[in-house]
Amino acid sequence: MMTIILLVVAVAGLLALMRKQAGAKPVVVLLAITGVLSLIFASGLLALILLAGAGITAAAGLPGFRQSWLTPRVFAMFKKVAPKVSATEKVALEAGTVGWDGELFTGRPDWHNLLINRNTGLTEKEQAFVDNQCVKATSMCNAWDVAVERADLPAELWEFLKKEKFFGMIIPEEYGGLHFSAKAQSAVLQRLACNEALMVTVGVPNSLGPGELLVKYGTEEQKNHYLPRLADGREIPCFGLTGPRAGSDATSLPDTGIVCKQKFNGKETVGIRLNFEKRWITLAPIATVVGLAFRMFDPDGLLGDTKDYGITCALIPRDTKGMEIGRRHCPIGSPFLNGPIKGKDVFIPLDYIIGGQEMAGQGWRMLVECLSVGRCITLPSGAAGAAAYSVGTAGGYTRIRRQFNSPVAEMEGVQEPLARIAAQTYIAQAAVSHTANMIDRGEKPAVPSAILKYHLTEIQRSVLSDSMDVHGGKTVTLGPRNYLGIGYSGASVAITVEGANIMTRSLMIFGQGAIRCHPYVLKELAAKDNDDIEAFDEAFFGHAGLVFGNAARALTQAFGVGKADVPFDSASKRYAQGVSRFSAAFGLCSDAAMTTLGSELKMRELISARLGDMLSNLYLASMVLKHWHETQPVDGERDLMEFSLSLLLHRAENALEEFLQNLPNRAVALCLRAVTLPLGRRWDKPHDDLSRSLARAISTDSAVRTRLLATVWSTNGEGTVENPVARYNSLLKDYDKAEALYRKVTKAYAKGQLPMTALHPEERFEEALKADIFTKEETDFMRRYEEIVLEMLTVDDFPFDALASDKSTVIDHNPA
């Protein structure tokens, strides 16, 4: 019995010390004491094991011992197996900051570090712009008109965007810009997202564009000339980065700039001769100034000893000799202005380089630093806005669309996608809002930018697909009345641009995070590069302590022991504890993958992707928890929160399971499974009761629907294009009254109180009035109500030859 007691004490004590990462000394003391007690009162074999463990721990863990024999050997081995970090990778790793993503890598995230910076919302000026200028802009264009009839925004809308400085949101007020916060930029783009072309047209110049590069890196002369002109729309910018042979791998762009001497404005000038071919450049067809990324060389040494400067960024006026610009691509679904740019022997002076000559070769750093912020805002905000718009339309349509004498929103097969629409919109809104708040607090979140770009654009695709499904024939028939079809077909654009989603998931999220966010890996690599054995000793054995700590935390929390202390209410506490538990499991699995695969991990993209999925879902869950913590919940929002967090933790656990199934080292995988999932899977998909609750919430005039639609254009004004969300909101306000009357007339028809030929609702209303089943007021109400319903159910049709662009090819199938 004493042997068992001492064994339990030793194991429990070890786990407790490991959980706290207490270091080697307390472990040595614990093992030594229990070993001596075992020798005196219990088993000699147990005593031998415990005392041997104390000795090994002392030799390998206490600095005075290990530094003399173990560290040099480990350091030598590490130098051989550590992955080589290229110069471009190093720039990417050093760009941006580490925040909550780094906490998730530790395995014991400090929630106070996330909650300390509350999201205080927009300023009065910013909110007024969203409520007024943004609403006006959205009301000036219809998706069909923009995408099909004109393939452009209306002229009056262009003038409005320029006049109200939509293109100058990031430009400081001293240069004539709006100088909005990141939260305000996100709110603007969410409001504009009901029209994909409008959102992209405004979003791109405010993210990856010359404006941001000039603000951060431009010379005073460049700022003073260009920023006021960009702010008020006198200059329309574009940025040429991608080309036929450089898409996701932008560092391999083959476009060249050779330093040379040539006459410019009548004077011999040292400048750059450019040869380039770019494509997929948004706003290129109408741009007046082109930001260009190219590889800069100085073979004749005109600037010094450097021959290959690397990627450089320059600003080139549209009318520069030798540049071909103006043709268009036709992006799928929404033909926003996008096109190719070519240049043959285009000569520019050195002062066209953004930041001047001293910034030659700094283009990759500039782009990476700007991308880390822009990718957090533009496409994720557009995705969140499009998702919220789907809440408004899908919820409204499924409530007014009746089949089998009942709204289709009451059918469980429809409720399932409606619930997904609601939850994924909630997740997207929380993620963009609180990540933008981080940016406003001074962070440059590189890894979260990749998480948001990938997962929120995938949410957009998923939500739009679900919305199309529940609309049925209404949205597969294109025309002016179709408010979803154009956006749905254009969703793949967001999936592809600013880092293709396949590459972002499989390479960037974990590939960048594993080194950038890990508490020790970057320090270990720096110690290797600097041949600093003391720094390596501190980092490596700190890393070892982290591994043991995460193993202990993952194991004990999987059994429900020692749950994380989290500062959340009773409704959300268990979800935050789930995030903390999976954070420990994620940290442990990350280290296992890096240790067993080494440099090969770069090529094992599916392993990297699953670890990235774990990290991403934990990050998104954290944003939902922060959102819940900081806002006053409305009636029904708890169901929304629980569905969202259950879904995210289910996905995190699923990613863990798939990682364990596919880790090449099966022995390590089995050990990891025993530690991280000792009781198997614990997080199920959200319950059907939650699905029913959310489906009803977004398809009725509820507080949850109102909250989710807070970022959406939901008003109608005189002289504007029709707003379907406003029409649905109006119908839902009268739904309870209308539903009672639908049931009344249906019951009367079933009883034979109405003529059997009264099959249309309108006919039944009139017959019900005649039979004194309806009052005149009820009949008038239902006439008006059903008239709007029928309009929302109606789809467009066209003359027979309208869809043929070449009318001469139209076949007359029924000649006279």
Of the residues 103, 277, 498, 637, only one is catalytic, namely 498
The residue behind tokens 């992707």 is 609
Assigned token pair, 430: 């929380």
Q: Say what the alpha-carbon torsion angle 454, 460, 466, 469 is, to the nearest 10 degrees.
A: -120
Residue 498 annotated as catalytic: yes
- Give every CB contact of residue 379 below 8 A, 6+ residues apart in sequence: 203, 453, 456, 457, 494, 497, 498
Measured between alpha carbons, how far is 689 from 694 in angstroms, rounded to an integer? 9
Assigned token pair, 218: 């431009």
Give me the DSSP letters along 225-292: HHHHHHHTTSS-EEEE--BTTBSS-GGG---EEEEEEEEETTEEEEEEEEEEEEEEEETGGG-SEEEE
Measured between alpha carbons, how far is 584 from 107 in angstroms, rounded to an integer? 4
Measured between alpha carbons, how far is 620 from 575 in angstroms, rounded to an integer? 12
Measured between alpha carbons, how far is 487 from 333 in angstroms, rounded to an integer? 7
Measured between alpha carbons, how far is 695 from 466 in angstroms, rounded to an integer? 12
In the chain, DSSP finds a helix count (H) and a strand count (E) of 34, 9
Assigned token pair, 426: 């909630």
- b/e burial code for range 448-477 (CB count within 10 A of at least 16 → b): bbbbbbbbbbbbbbbbbebbbebbeebbee
Name residue 63's amino acid: P
Assigned token pair, 590: 């990350």
Measured between alpha carbons, how far is 634 from 613 in angstroms, rounded to an integer? 30
- 486 within 8 A of 144, measured Cβ to Cβ: yes
The residue behind tokens 């259950």 is 646
In terms of Cα–Cα distance, which of 5, 22, 105 is closest to 622?
105
- Catalytic positions are 498
